[in-house]
Amino acid sequence: MMRKPDPTAVKGGINGGGSSSNTNKLRKGLWSPEEDDKLINYMLTNGQGCWSDVARNAGLQRCGKSCRLRWINYLRPDLKRGAFSPQEEEVIVHLHSILGNRWSQIAARLPGRTDNEIKNFWNSTIKKRLKNLSSTPSPNASDSSNSEPNKKDVMAAAGFMSSMQEQGINFPMYMDLSSTSSTSNSSLQSMVLNQTCNSLAPVLEHDLNMFGSAAAGYFNPAAASCVTQVGVNSDNFYGENEIFGSVDNGVEREIYVPPLENIGENLKTENTYDRNINNPFNIISSSNHNIKTENLAGGGAAVGNIWLGEELKVGEWDLEDLMKLDVSSLPFLDFQS
DNA sequence: AAGGGACACAACCGCAATTTG
DNA sequence: TCAAATTGCGGTTGTGTCCCT
């Protein structure tokens, strides 16, 4: 539908300019239906192996890298094609506000979607929308009494932070909201934080409620602090089938780190999370993984660390809550169609 | 109807990390 | 231990299509 396959588009290999010893000329450009068929048939018959072998054995005049890309982004049978739903869009904005441009990690939370697809969607659609929103502020945006921040706020916050990062302005990895006075000389920071807190609150609350427990989280930007309450059955709160977290005697909570992969070296190195796909929350059982304890008695504790995209330390809070969410399990997302 | 800008998206590029021999 | 090969990722490009003037 885009570029027509160009049978004359033949070049050398793409890796580092290609190897001069390669006498086979490798095709580039759009894939023809015939090439697709070859690749599909090969993959379905032989499964995935070394991609250069795939290219060779499938009789494709493509480099392995090209085959891999084509398979992953277009031919894989489990891909979900078509436009992004508003729910998916919300999840993308949500995750992007947390993960930044880690498209592969965002894609990992959206079954059937590829990183390339999400990246394109973000760059072509969402980014533009955010830009428009930030240039034409919503009349409600300044209404702090509005108890129901909307998606625009989420997107505006995400977009603002994203654009700041694009301009080379990096926020601290952790911002202690409890120490962020509303009269801070950094009005910009306050604005970002307040907007972010406002924006993420409904997302968090909504997502937590999806688990069918009494879990509810909210931010309190007016007090420049973030508060998370987790009310749960008795001792645990759950995902559909898995223990999601627990409260120990109403005092301490154990958090199971979700499979957000490679979120900073700390997490990566400290956790030996289970990659078993049947363990959607990658429950960590080692005592070494009592991530964060939180005094939940007395109406909840004010905790003020907000993660803004680069590293997540095990043991931090707030947006980490967002990270606990395996959005693929959220019933409002239709991943089946 | 034609021209041109905006949009959407497949595919390429370059780099870094990982694996292999 | 090291170099080469492979894999994976994010940024960018190129082009068909849509829509407006």
Whether residues A138 and A62 share a domain: the answer is no
Report whether pLDDT(A271) > 80. Answer: no
Give A331's contacts (C-beta < 8 A, 6+ positions apart): A210
**Residue A335, pLDDT score:** 37
CB of A171 within 7 Å of some strand B atom: no
Question: What is the identity of the amino acid at A47?
Answer: G
Tens of pLDDT, residue by residue over A198-254, are 333 333 333 333 322 222 222 222 222 222 222 223 223 223 222 233 333 333 333
Integer Cα distance of A225 and A166 in angstroms: 27
Between A185 and A157, the higher pLDDT residue? A157
Pick the last residue of a domain from A26, A43, A75: A75
Distance A48 CA to B14 C1' (A): 25
Residue A268 has pLDDT above 70, yes or no: no
In a domain, A183, yes or no: yes
Q: Rank A64-68, A179-183, A243-247, A325-329 by mean pLDDT and report only the highest.
A: A64-68
Coil, helix or strand for A38? helix
pLDDT in the model for residue A184: 30
Residue among A38, A308, A293 nearest A175 (CA): A308
Q: Which of A15-19, A92-96, A279-283 has the highest mean pLDDT?
A: A92-96
| Distance CA A86 to C1' B6 in A | 22
A254 touches strand C (CB under 7 A): no
Residue A41 has pLDDT above 60, yes or no: yes
Residue A5 falls within a domain, yes or no? no
| Same domain flag for A45 and A128 | no
Is residue A336 included in any domain, yes or no? no
Q: Examine the domain organization and report whether A154 and A211 are in the same domain.
A: yes
- DSSP secondary structure letter of residue A240: S
Q: Which of A146, A97, A318 is nearest to A227 (CA)?
A: A318
Residues of chain A with pLDDT > 70: what percent?
31
Residue A333: CB atoms within 10 Å: 18
Which residues are within 8 A (CB) of A216 and not within 5 positions of it... i.e. 6 or more apart? A205, A208, A209, A229, A230, A231
Which of A43, A75, A107 terminates a domain? The answer is: A75
State residue A111's pLDDT score. 87
**Domains: count for chain A:** 2
Mark whether A199 and A94 lie in a shared domain.
Answer: yes
Max Cα–Cα distance, chain A, nearest Å: 74
Would you tell me the crossing angle of helices A151-166 and A187-209 to the nearest 10 degrees? Answer: 130
Find the domain containing A70 and state its range. 10-75
In a domain, A110, yes or no: yes
Say yes or no: Cβ of A15 under 7 A from any atom of strand C: yes
pLDDT tens per residue across span A78-88: 888 788 888 88
pLDDT value at position A46? 87
Residue A129 has pLDDT above 60, yes or no: yes
| Domain annotation covers residue A195 | yes
In a domain, A312, yes or no: yes
- What is the residue-averaged pLDDT of chain A? 51
Residues A55 and A117 in one domain: no
A115 and A66 inside one domain: no
pLDDT at A57 over 70: yes
Q: Are residues A109 and A69 in the same domain?
A: no
- Over residues A15-35, mean pLDDT: 62
> Does residue A105 lie within 7 Å of nucleic acid chain C, judged by its CB?
yes
Residue A4 resides in a domain: no
Whether the CB of A69 is less than 7 Å away from nucleic strand B comes out as yes
Residue A167 has pLDDT above 70, yes or no: no
Tell me: pLDDT of A154 over 50. Answer: no
The confidence score (pLDDT) of residue A133 equals 65
A164 and A240 together in one domain:
yes
- Extended beta strands in A153-200, E state: 174-176
Of the two residues A261 and A321, the one the predictor is more confident about is A321
Separation in Å: C8 C1' and A96 CA: 19
Is residue A333 a part of any domain in this protein?
Answer: no
**Could you tell me how far CA A153 lies from the centroid of its own chain?**
18
Of A245, A194, A258, the residue nearest A215 (C-alpha): A245
What pLDDT score does A118 carry? 92
| pLDDT exceeds 60 at position A26 | yes
φ, ψ of residue A253 to 5 degrees: the values are -125, 135
**What is the distance in angstroms measured between the alpha-carbon CA of A21 and the sugar C1' of C7?**
22
For the CA of A264 and the C1' of B13, the distance in angstroms is 26
CA distances from A179 to A174, A185, A289, A305, A313 (A): 12, 12, 28, 10, 19
Q: Which residue is nearest to nucleotide B14 (CA to C1')?
A: A16
Nucleotides of C under 7 A from a protein CB: 5-17
For the CA of A252 and the C1' of B15, the distance in angstroms is 44
